[in-house]
Amino acid sequence: MPITVKEIMQLKEFQNFTLIAGKEGEGNEILNIGILDYEYANEDPYLEKLWAFGKNAFVISSLLFAKDHPERILSAVKGLCRDGVAALAIKTIYYETLPEEALAYADEHALPVYMFGRDDAYFQDIAILIRAKMEERDDTELLEQKIGLMVNGQMSLANIRNLSQEILPRGGYRSYYCVYCKAKSYSESIYYVRAFNALKDRVGKRDAVFRFQNGYLVILDMEERSLKGSQTAFAMRILYLRQEDYYIGVGKVHDTMDEFHLSIQEALYASQYAKMFGENPVCFRQMGIYQILLPYCRSPWLEQYCRGILEPIREFDRQYDGELFRTAELYVKKNGDVEAVAKELHLHKNTIRYRMNKVRELVGDEKNLRFDEQLSVAFRTWEIQKL
């Protein structure tokens, strides 16, 4: 995804830029950069078209072409809007603001217009910085795509080894584990950009930090560290993030880079578990049955198993306008506690027992001693599949 005008303006180098029009266009994406001289200050339509900026350009200007001719500004703004530029930044050499009609036109067409002082930035520096951020975004997205292929099982072991050597310090670790911090809100906001930069500064030189799926993926090198206390506590001491802003998952310790993809998957699943149950942070090895259910909830075998258990219950409810499904779901959530289910549903416990006997009958074997276990797997898997 290309970088946006708003993201650029959140950089410290642009803190003295003032938005004077076109706020609705701050989400415009930037695809190139240009400097406005006389491109839109002539009366030749052919030259205007020939010299026009590319779509989604970030345009910089001093408005030299309009010195002593403020009437030219509106024409230039119209040309920029017509050609779909992303934003216009004006150095206050000749004008401290724009004519009212030009501002109104920029507002109407969602063209962000910024003013900055003559000592705030040089044109060339602005262009170089924006280009660097665009390239950085491209590199980040390419890396995220590679990691995505790896964790989704679409990368061979040889390619996993190559990727770990490419992105990790000295090519990898002898002992390590992964932490995934999923942002609870949009991670491109200024707070999360700053948090990511601070996180990179806090971790060790041998650790690695990446942006991944609206969050941060951290690989902690444990070769020369002694793990005192739990993995989660150790990770939180290093990361020092506000837990209320993230769903944090912690993978197991691994001692071979051939399991790099597994370590990342563990952290991702643990973060998902944290989101499901409101526990934070969560270590993968403490997730119980969900260590299996989360990775395999979409497998055809498990989906077929769940349908075999749950569909007869749904069909009964559809046919008789019953509430067996809701009762059975709550029965699983309350770990088979009939009295707790009865209290929740404001029913007598004998009613719950009757309903659960009916569920047992619909599932198949009324004498099956593993009934609670089977029902639990089916409903917990269904719960994951709803997300």
Secondary structure class of 371 (helix, strand, coil) = helix
pLDDT in tens, the chain (387 residues): 678 999 899 888 898 999 999 999 999 999 888 888 766 655 555 555 555 677 889 999 999 989 889 988 998 899 899 889 999 999 999 999 999 999 999 999 999 999 999 888 888 888 888 888 887 776 777 888 888 888 888 888 888 888 888 888 888 888 999 999 998 876 555 567 777 878 888 888 889 998 888 889 999 999 888 777 788 888 888 888 888 889 999 999 999 999 999 999 999 999 999 999 888 899 999 999 999 999 998 889 999 999 999 999 999 999 998 899 999 999 999 999 999 999 999 999 999 999 999 999 888 766 666 888 889 999 999 988 887
| Angular region, 323: left φ>0, alpha ψ -120 to 50, beta rest | alpha
DSSP state of 4: B
On the question of a cis peptide bond just before residue 112, with omega within 30 degrees of 0, the verdict is no
What pLDDT is recorded for position 214? 83
pTM: 0.66
Rounded CA separation 173/167 (Å): 12
Rounded CA separation 321/319 (Å): 6
Helix axes 349-363 and 300-320, enclosed angle (nearest 10): 120
Give phi and psi for 374, each to the nearest 5: -65, -45
For 302-329, b/e burial (b = at least 16 CB within 10 A) is: beeebeebbebbeebbeeeeeebbebbb
Q: How far is CA 88 from CA 42, 98, 132, in A?
A: 19, 12, 19
DSSP state of 35: E
Other Cβ atoms within 10 Å of 350 Cβ, number: 10
What pLDDT is recorded for position 313? 94
Residue with tokens 């691994």, as numbered in its chain: 254
What pLDDT is recorded for position 183? 86
